[in-house]
Chain A
Amino acid sequence: MKPPLFRYEAPRTLRDAVAVLASDPDAMVLAGGQSLVPAMNFRVATPSLLVDIQHVEGLKGIAVEGDTIVIKAMTRHRELELHPEVRRANPLIAETMQHVAHVPIRNRGTVVGSLCHADPSAEMPLLFVLLDGALVATGPAGTRHIPAADFFQSFLTTARHQDEIVVEARLPVLPAGAGYAFDEVTRRHGDFALVGIGCVVSLDGNGRAQNVRLAACGISDRPVRLKAAETALTGSLLATNDLAAAARASADAVTQADDMNTSMSYRRRVLSGLLQRLVPIAAGRARGGYRQ
């Protein structure tokens, strides 16, 4: 339960950090270490070189710029969760983050680190897929924007190149009048989700659902949008049979095979139950208007 041997560098500038990272194909980026250090303690991860980015200039802080929330690479989960401006701009973020591990882990772990780790049961990747967030990665070839929909490729696998550092992540503010909700089922409080689901929905003047967004984690090798369920709900009054139809339409999205945690059929039942419980909560908040 001790990490294997590695070399360690703590560069001060992004240019140096990228250069060091690019110098060794087995190098890894260390930010908060709340996923990487346990993986190293278990010797699942055995990087030859750790590039600690905590001292790199310009990678700290959160800014709400117009319709975009910019989260720099060294922003800890807890900073984002408690940020008053972010809470106003997009209350779904804090609601989701209540489910990310425990406070002492959220005090250290970074949002961007969680995205780069890309655990398919993790909440933050789901949030970025649900809201159409984006990541900004800098490497030797320059800087590029990667939409969240393209970023998460498979189990612990992202579109980030080995020599790139994700310098920031971007989430949109919640559209005016939209309702939102997040919930998950776990074996123990603070665990990764067996199934987690997030929802954003608006209602038109007749109470019909518009701009329905649904995404889930824990059901596939990556977080996924539940597009069939979104289509089933769009334009409906979200009556009990509409929700049931959407739940049925979401069943095929569950592709995670039976594993040590649970079975595929149980995940389908949980997803169905969560969806039918959560959409009315989001719709209720849309009716109430979350900000006056």
Chain B
Amino acid sequence: MKRAAIKPSIPDRSEDPRVKVSLTVNGQPVMRTVSVRMLLSDFLRHELGLTGTHVGCEHGVCGCCTVHIDGKAGRSCLTLAVQANGCKIRTIEDVAAEDGALHPVQQAFKECHALQCGFCTPGMVMNVLSRFEEREALDLTESGIRDILSGNLCRCTGYINIIAAVRRAAELLGRA
């Protein structure tokens, strides 16, 4: 294999085809021109500076990048920014109140010590929140909660306290 030569200067602009996207993020209209291959997760973090959405595996397994796309939880790493054109996106930054008061789901995670390093927590919260906001009846038995959480990996806690937090969130939201 030929050794790579030192380049005179690294291009500071991508030569990718670019596309204009306009969407609503956390209630605010946003318009940007981005590469067609930019993932929604990278769009939120790098273009908008909303770094609460975490990027773990980038192939849909870990759930850390979960956001709401038109009101439903979805993987932002499995969605191109251009696919979200015209959509309403909600991220973890929009969940607590303006004054910082925690949402009941966040409060429940805090009370139950449902996080250690916290890396998976934004995805967990967005996923759980989406299920509470759905009209469907929720199975809040242990196996039902494990099913709700099955798309989110946590490598610290062993899940016991996260399951407790979902149960506590149901109480706080009057859904228990």
Q: Identify the A interface with B (CB < 8 A).
A: 1-8, 10, 30, 33-34, 37-38, 41-42, 50, 52, 54, 78, 82, 101-105, 107-108, 188-190
Contacts and interface: CB of A to CB of B under 8 A. Distances in A.
**Residue among A7, A10, A37, A190 with most chain B CB within 10 A:** A37
Interface of B: 16-17, 19, 36-37, 39, 42, 57-60, 63, 66, 69, 72-75, 77-80, 82-83, 85, 127, 130-131, 136, 146-148, 150-151
A104 B147 contact: no
Nearest to A98: B147
A40 B92 CA distance: 26
B80 to A, nearest CB: 7
Contacts of B78: 33-34, 37-38, 41, 105, 108
Contacts of B151: 101-105, 190
A52 to B, nearest CB: 6
A103 B79 contact: no
A104 B79 contact: no
B44 to A, nearest CB: 15
Contacts of B136: 82
A95 to B, nearest CB: 14
A10 B17 CA distance: 14
Contacts of B130: 103-104, 107
Given A30-B83, A38-B59, A41-B58, A189 B146 contact: yes
A103 B37 CA distance: 25
A52 B72 contact: no
Contacts of A10: 82, 85
B37 A6 contact: yes
B73 A104 contact: yes
Contacts of A41: 39, 58-59, 77-78
A102 B150 contact: yes
A52, A78, A102, A104: residue with the most chain B Cβ atoms closer than 10 Å: A104
A100 B85 CA distance: 26
Given A103-B127, A104-B130, A108-B79, 20 more contacts: A1-B58, A3-B37, A5-B16, A6-B37, A7-B17, A8-B82, A30-B80, A30-B83, A38-B60, A41-B77, A52-B82, A52-B83, A103-B73, A103-B148, A104-B72, A104-B127, A105-B60, A105-B151, A107-B69, A108-B78
Nearest to A38: B59
Contacts of A4: 37
* Nearest 4 interchain pairs by C-beta: A102-B151, A1-B58, A8-B36, A38-B59
Contacts of A8: 17, 19, 36, 80, 82
A108 B59 contact: no
B37 A107 contact: no
19 contacts: A2-B37, A2-B42, A3-B39, A33-B78, A33-B83, A37-B60, A37-B80, A41-B39, A41-B78, A50-B36, A52-B83, A78-B72, A104-B75, A105-B151, A107-B69, A107-B72, A108-B69, A108-B75, A189-B147
Given A5-B37, A33-B79, A42 B59 contact: yes
A2 B82 CA distance: 15
A107 to B, nearest CB: 4
Contacts of A82: 136
A275 B134 CA distance: 35
With most chain A CB atoms within 10 A of its CB, the pick from B16, B77, B80 is: B80
A15 B69 CA distance: 28
A84 to B, nearest CB: 11
A98 to B, nearest CB: 8
A10 B136 CA distance: 32
Given A1-B59, A42-B59, A189-B146, A105 B82 contact: no
A107 B36 CA distance: 22
A2 B45 CA distance: 14
Contacts of B60: 34, 37-38, 105
